[in-house]
C-alpha cells in the first residue's frame, strides 16, 4: 500500500493547542504560531493563557492530523520556521508572517535567545530586526501562486537592513513589515551571501537564479 503524503514536517500525531471555537466554525481562524520547539498553536484570536483554567476554557489539545483536517489553510505554512507566527487574512486567503515578541518569562527568553545565537552561522545577530517588503512576509494558500524571492538587500547608514522582493515596484513607495533576522534567513536562505554588507551597501540581482552584485557602497 502506498504511504499517504503528509504535507507538514511535524509528526501528524503531535499535539496542537487548538482554539475550541474552531471546532464549530473554522472561519473564525485568526492566527497560527509555531513555538521554538516546533509545536503548533492555532487560534481564533485569543492569546493562550498560562492560567490553566483560562487556557482550558479557550483551547483544547488535538493531534496535528485532525487540526489540518479542520483548518487546511495551515498546509501553506509547511515551511514556517519555528518561533514564527502568521496572521490569517480570510478575504485574501493569505498568511502574513511575523516574529512574535518575547514572553513574560525572562529565564525562558534568555534560554531561547542563547539557542538562537548558538545556531547562527552568519555575520551579525539573528536577533536583529529587519525590514522587508510586505510581499516577502506573505504566503498564499493558492498552490499555483508563485513564491516570492528577494531582489535587493541593503543597509542604511545606521545599519538597518531592508530586503525587497521582485514583486515590489521600484519607483513607488511600498509597505514593509519587520521580522527577526534568523526567521527571515530561514525563509530565504539564498540571501545569506549578502549579510557581509556594511552600512550603506546595497546588493541586487536581476533574477532569483542570478548572483548577487553590489550596486552601492555608500560612498
Note the pTM of the prediction, 2 decimals. 0.91
What's the confidence (pLDDT) of residue 153? 97
E strand intervals along the chain: 15-19, 31-34, 40-43, 59-63, 85-89, 94-98, 129-133, 138-140, 150-155, 161-165, 176-180, 202-204, 213-216
Every domain of the chain and the residues it spans: 15-98, 109-216
Q: Which residue has the higher pLDDT, 219 or 66?
A: 66
The average pLDDT across 192-211 equals: 96
What's the confidence (pLDDT) of residue 56? 81
pLDDT tens-digit profile of 15-72? 999 999 999 999 999 999 999 999 999 999 998 777 677 778 899 999 999 999 999 9
Angstrom distance (rounded) from CA 203 to CA 214: 4
Amino acid at each position: 500500500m502506498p504511504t499517504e503524503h503528509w504535507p507538514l514536517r511535524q509528526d501528524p500525531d503531535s499535539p496542537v493547542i487548538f482554539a475550541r471555537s474552531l471546532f464549530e466554525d473554522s472561519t473564525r481562524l485568526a492566527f497560527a504560531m509555531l513555538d521554538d520547539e516546533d509545536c503548533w498553536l492555532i487560534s481564533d484570536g485569543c492569546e493562550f493563557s498560562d492560567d490553566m483554567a483560562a487556557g482550558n476554557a479557550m483551547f483544547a489539545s488535538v493531534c496535528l492530523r485532525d487540526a489540518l483536517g479542520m483548518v487546511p489553510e495551515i498546509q501553506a505554512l509547511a515551511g514556517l520556521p519555528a518561533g514564527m507566527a502568521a496572521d490569517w487574512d480570510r478575504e485574501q486567503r493569505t498568511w502574513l508572517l511575523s516574529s512574535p515578541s518575547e514572553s513574560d518569562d525572562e529565564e525562558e527568553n534568555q534560554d531561547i535567545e542563547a539557542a538562537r545565537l548558538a545556531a547562527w552561522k552568519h555575520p551579525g545577530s539573528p536577533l536583529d530586526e529587519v525590514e522587508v517588503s510586505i510581499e516577502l512576509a506573505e504566503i498564499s494558500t493558492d498552490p499555483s501562486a508563485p513564491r516570492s524571492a528577494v531582489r535587493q538587500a541593503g543597509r542604511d547608514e545606521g545599519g538597518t537592513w531592508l530586503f525587497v522582493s521582485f514583486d515590489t515596484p521600484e519607483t513607488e513607495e511600498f509597505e514593509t513589515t519587520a521580522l527577526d533576522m534568523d526567521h527571515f534567513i530561514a525563509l530565504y536562505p539564498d540571501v545569506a551571501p549578502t549579510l557581509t554588507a556594511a552600512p550603506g551597501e546595497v546588493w541586487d540581482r536581476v533574477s532569483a537564479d542570478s548572483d548577487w552584485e553590489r550596486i552601492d557602497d555608500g560612498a
